[in-house]
Copies of this chain bind each other. A is one copy, B any other.
Amino acid sequence: MLKVGILGAGRIAGVHATAISSHPESQLVAVSDVFPENAEKLAMKFGAEARATEDIIADKGIDAVLIATSTDTHSDLIEAATAAGKAVLCEKPVDLSLERARACQASTFATGKPVMIGFNRRFDPNFSALKAGLNAGEIGKAELLSITSFDPAPPPIAYIKVSGGLFRDMMIHDFDMANFIMGDAPVSVTAAASSIVSSEIGAAGDVDTAVVTLTYADGRLAVIKNSRRAVYGYDQRVELLGSEGLLQAQNMLENTVVKSTTQGVTGAKPTYFFLERYMPAYAAEWSAFVTAVTGCAPVPVTLADGVAALVMAEAATRSAKTGNPVRLADV
């Protein structure tokens, strides 16, 4: 039985707590938060203990920590936890600073402890089925990948300002998805972006709509589309053209009811937000982590994967300024 502590007791920590408790081989034993009452509340619901972060990390009886704190603390906590001999599952991104993330990767590597980055979308049943289909040769060799990833509504401007920008905050998921599907990093990243959804976002120095093209050494291409606003819901689709066919992972809908009237044939909208869409993914992610930590498999999303996505976000951020391609080798 894997004894687990959660660092950070916000909304996503609650999702992880459920996954940990439901898993037959893991048990939630401790929770910490900068606001102790939040930790208390979450701990009580799942029969765990609210403690200080340092205590959890120092506790020899705890095998693994799940880091769900604010992004600026990720690298420090990864280093501290691995140094204390713990396995780590850390929410994305590793860090907003590529330099800091790389340093964390280097120091952590030395400990030999498993560190997994929480790119939950890899565990979505739809995207993982698409990847499995590719691996099974169902569409031959991959040629052209398209990722559509639209949020239902922009976050508050206060969040935008500290987010690191659309490429590091939002598209980073899609960069990781591209790496997951293509099994390789691109050689160049080209971004076109604007703030057409919200002039406030533009005034804050960020963009809200972007198209990013990735080129690969062997001629493959990928394109990622992001928008901060799709009023009909969380639009999350992946489409891969191969030499022998096409694979598409489409949206999950709120229900399967279809209404036909004089107005047309109307079905339900996509599930509205990431918690609904990705709930099964969080459970599968945790299960994969337990499997890796208990020794049966390599960590499926490594710290190196987290850094790789960050490099692409950095390249896209630079490219968006000029429109010219940025080579990953130059980042």
Most buried by B among A232, A247, A269: A232
Q: Mark A258-287, 1 if CB is under 8 A from B, else 0.
A: 111111111111100000000000000000
Within 8 Å by CB of A232, from B129, B245, B250, lies B245
Q: Are A211 and B219 in contact (CB under 8 A)?
A: no
Q: Mark A202-229, 1 if CB is under 8 A from B, else 0.
A: 0000000111010100111101010101
Residues of B close to A210: CB separation below 8 A: 221
Within 8 Å by CB of A325, from B243, B267, B324, lies B324
Asked, given contacts A211-B221, A246-B232, whether A260 binds B265 with beta carbons under 8 Å apart, the answer is no
Give bound CA distance, A268 to B259, whole Å. Answer: 11
Q: Are A197 and B257 in contact (CB under 8 A)?
A: no
A130 located at the interface, meaning its Cβ lies under 8 Å from any Cβ of chain B in the complex? yes
What's the minimum C-beta distance from A28 to chain B, rounded to whole angstroms?
14
Give bound CA distance, A193 to B125, whole Å. Answer: 31
Within 8 Å by CB of A190, from B190, B193, B269, lies B190
Give bound CA distance, A125 to B235, whole Å. Answer: 21
Give bound CA distance, A230 to B247, whole Å. Answer: 11
Give bound CA distance, A146 to B209, whole Å. Answer: 13
Residues of B close to A112: CB separation below 8 A: none
Chain B residue at minimum C-beta to C-beta distance from A212 = B213
Q: Mark A304-323, 1 if CB is under 8 A from B, else 0.
A: 00000000000000000001
Q: Are A129 and B257 in contact (CB under 8 A)?
A: yes
Q: Within the oligomer, what is the number of copies of this chain?
A: 4
Asked, given contacts A190-B190, A190-B192, A269-B264, whether A256 binds B126 with beta carbons under 8 Å apart, the answer is yes
A103 located at the interface, meaning its Cβ lies under 8 Å from any Cβ of chain B in the complex? no
What's the minimum C-beta distance from A254 to chain B, rounded to whole angstroms?
8
Residues of B close to A252: CB separation below 8 A: 256
Residues of B close to A138: CB separation below 8 A: 259, 261
Residues of B close to A257: CB separation below 8 A: 126, 129-130, 133, 247-250
Residues of B close to A268: CB separation below 8 A: 129, 264-265
Give bound CA distance, A233 to B246, whole Å. Answer: 10
A251 located at the interface, meaning its Cβ lies under 8 Å from any Cβ of chain B in the complex? yes
B-contacting residues of A (Cβ < 8 Å)? Answer: 125-126, 129-130, 133, 138-139, 143-144, 146, 148, 150, 188, 190, 192-197, 209-211, 213, 215, 218-221, 223, 225, 227, 229-233, 235, 241, 243-270, 323-325
A-B pairs with beta carbons under 8 Å apart, 25 shown: A143-B227, A144-B225, A146-B225, A150-B241, A190-B192, A192-B221, A193-B221, A195-B219, A209-B219, A211-B221, A211-B223, A223-B225, A230-B246, A231-B261, A244-B262, A245-B262, A246-B261, A247-B258, A249-B255, A249-B256, A249-B257, A250-B256, A260-B269, A264-B266, A324-B324
